[in-house]
Amino acid sequence: MSDTVSKPAGGLKAWLTSDTPASRLQARAIGLWFAWSDLVRNPLAVAGLVIVVLLILMAIFAPLIATDPPNQQNLADRLMAPGVGGHILGTDELGRDIWSRIVYGSRVTLQVVALVALTAPVFGLVVGTVAGTIGGWTDRVLMRITDIFLAFPRLILALAFVAALGPGIVNAIFAIALTAWPPYARVARAETLSVRRADYIAAARLQGAGTLRIITGHIMPMCLSSVIIRVTLDMAGIILTAAGLGFLGLGAQPPLAEWGAMISTGRQYLLSHWWVATMPGLAILTVSLGFNLLGDSLRDVLDPRGAQR
């Protein structure tokens, strides 16, 4: 097959559903099309995708969606109930609009999710594929280091790193990334062990491909689907860890709007003014649910072992 793009005959849909792809690009496009078709047929997947897309749009257009500046204080309006005085979700103990702070807090959540998703899985993928391909002492050393990280609960280990580095959103993201990579290394190593003796790997070696070329060009692409599934399923845990650090005062620092910190300051008013802590808690619940629904559906669609769909 060549990588040249042939002109779609009979329209784009016919090109995407063809049984005889004319190029590698068309073959990849057909695979993505059928995966997307399977995904959108699942209502739970659609619900999860809608929640994630809404989170992204909320973070991008926060200045347009928010009704007030997130840090604007008005003690005359403190602890107003939802719907009173034009405040959709009420106000907190300093008179700040809770809806606006939740909207701007989505930026912090998305920042944590994006940076951790771009660092921890990549590092875990490299460690797992190198360990599985080379084997021997390299495999033993890398996997024992992975086991050490896995022996500690993620939140406890993140707390230790943040305590050593100091509070702040940047240090919190760094700490979460340091504690999130071991599961990806385990998944990548398991996938590597299942394919490293495959015929196409042996053929690549016979053609003179080195270990680095085999890892980056043949083994890593085979592990990507499993890693993507794991990343999506781990997003809820990452959000909860970031919220936990914020709740303990080790994540985003005041006056930055962050959902965990909002719950922390509102817990003292939980019985008398329930909305102060409940509204950011519902935001965390909704976003975590969205990532879980999307991750479960992606597992069904992208499962390399052909899970039943």
The pLDDT value recorded for residue 1 is 43
Report which of 270, 35, 155 is spatially closest to residue 27, judged by C-alpha positions: 35
The pLDDT value recorded for residue 307 is 46
Which residues, in sequence order, are CB contacts of 112 under 8 Å at separation 6+?
Answer: 169, 172, 173, 176, 238, 239, 242
Listed as ranges, residues in the chain with pLDDT below 70 are 1-10, 302-309
What gap in Å lies between CA 153 and CA 238, rounded to an integer? 13
The pLDDT value recorded for residue 288 is 92
Sign of the dihedral defined by the CA atoms of residues 143, 148, 150, 155, in that order: negative
The pLDDT value recorded for residue 303 is 63
- In degrees and rounded to multiples of 5, residue 274 shows phi and psi of -60, -30
Q: Look at residue 2 and give its three-state secondary structure.
A: strand
pLDDT tens digits for range 162-204: 888 888 888 888 888 888 999 999 999 988 888 888 888 888 8
pLDDT tens digits for range 208-236: 878 888 888 888 888 888 888 888 888 88
Burial class (CB in 10 A: 0-12, 13-18, 19+), 242: buried
Count CA within 13 A, CB hemisphere, residue 191. 28
Burial class (CB in 10 A: 0-12, 13-18, 19+), 61: exposed
The pLDDT value recorded for residue 65 is 93
Domain 62-302 has CATH 3.30.450.20: no
The pLDDT value recorded for residue 305 is 53
The pLDDT value recorded for residue 8 is 52
> What pTM did the predictor assign?
0.82
- In degrees and rounded to multiples of 5, residue 2 shows phi and psi of -105, 165
